[in-house]
Structure 1
Amino acid sequence: MKTKNLATLYDLPTLDWAPVAAGLDRLTQAPGTGGPDRHSHWLTTVNADGSPHVTGIGAIWFDGAYWVVSGRSALKARNLERDPRCAVAVATADYDTVVDGTARLVTDREEVAEVSRRLNEGG
């Protein structure tokens, strides 16, 4: 994993990733768990014309990756199928995090069931 410290203007050190990832593990979508009423994740994908598409999503950090649920006909899913490059952003009380990478479709029943269970637990 490659880190980029956006706080270099303030001469702050790069954060250690382990506590950040542990904090992401604890985030939920349940009401009352973040601001303004819950933690909102934002997914950025690439539209067919090359412009960015940003949408609020339900997401969880699990097993070292963000997991996002979408119907196959949604714009975000169509964008990811055509161009899997994406970014997920979330603001927490302690830090703002942006994770960029490449999406992949997961259809394995056991994996999907586990992620669904975790999403349901988290609101």
Structure 2
Amino acid sequence: MTEAHETKNLDGTGTAAALPWSRARDLLATQTPTEDLTFFVGTVRPDGRPHAAGVGAIWVGDALYFVSGPGTRRARNLAANPACTVSVRLRGLDLTMEGEARQIDDPATLARVAAVYREGGWPATILDGGFDAPFMAASAGPAPWHLYRLTLDRAIGVATAEPHGATRWDFSR
């Protein structure tokens, strides 16, 4: 289970308490894949310039997963440097996660994640160590599409609903 080993209250007013990681984790678990959320993955190009793109991501078994076509800029950047950020606006919490995203081709994990994607309306099936489906973003290129798992180093949450606050969570690996 992903648990923060250090929590830092970022509230500059001194009026809000640190937010528990369970708030962010529970929102991820309940709002993906059924709600219409757009996650943004930020990667680094080989020349050091940033790249960001929207993806459909889901929280499964206490980890964040997303899909990318193998020829996309995101996939090429992650192959060279797995460090990335993933940001999303959840109901009541803006969340930015930092860590490393690695391609997953384990059949059991692919099957488990594909089942959750199907629950959310994307009819993913397993093909050659990745996913196939009748539809995908046009920019993804042809299937199979790679699955990535984000290993969290740090996350920052800013509450947009009560109880308000801002917190940084650091995770051990």
User: Normalized against structure 1, the TM-score is what?
Assistant: 0.84
The answer to which structure, 1 or 2, has the higher relative contact order (CA under 8 A, 6+ apart) is 2
Q: List structure 1 runs of 4+ shifted beyond 4 angstroms.
A: 2-6
Check if 1:27 corresponds to 2:31. yes
Q: How far 1:21 sits from its partner (Å)?
A: 0.3
Aligned-residue RMSD, C-alpha: 1.7
Q: 1:10 aligns with which of 2, 10, 13?
A: 13
Instruction: Specify the code of the residue in structure 2 equivalent to 1:107.
Output: D
Structure whose alpha-carbon radius of gyration is higher: 2
Give the number of aligned pairs.
116
Give 1:52's aligned residue. 50
Q: Tell me the secondary structure at the aligned position of residue 54 of structure 2.
A: strand
Structure 1 gap ranges (5+): none
Give 2:72's aligned residue. 74
Q: Please identify which structure carries the higher helix content.
A: 1
Q: Please identify which structure carries the higher strand content.
A: 2
**How do 1:38-117 residues align onto structure 2 when only pairs under 5 Å count?**
38-117=36-115
Q: Tell me the secondary structure at the aligned position of residue 116 of structure 2.
A: helix
Structure 2 gap ranges (5+): 122-173
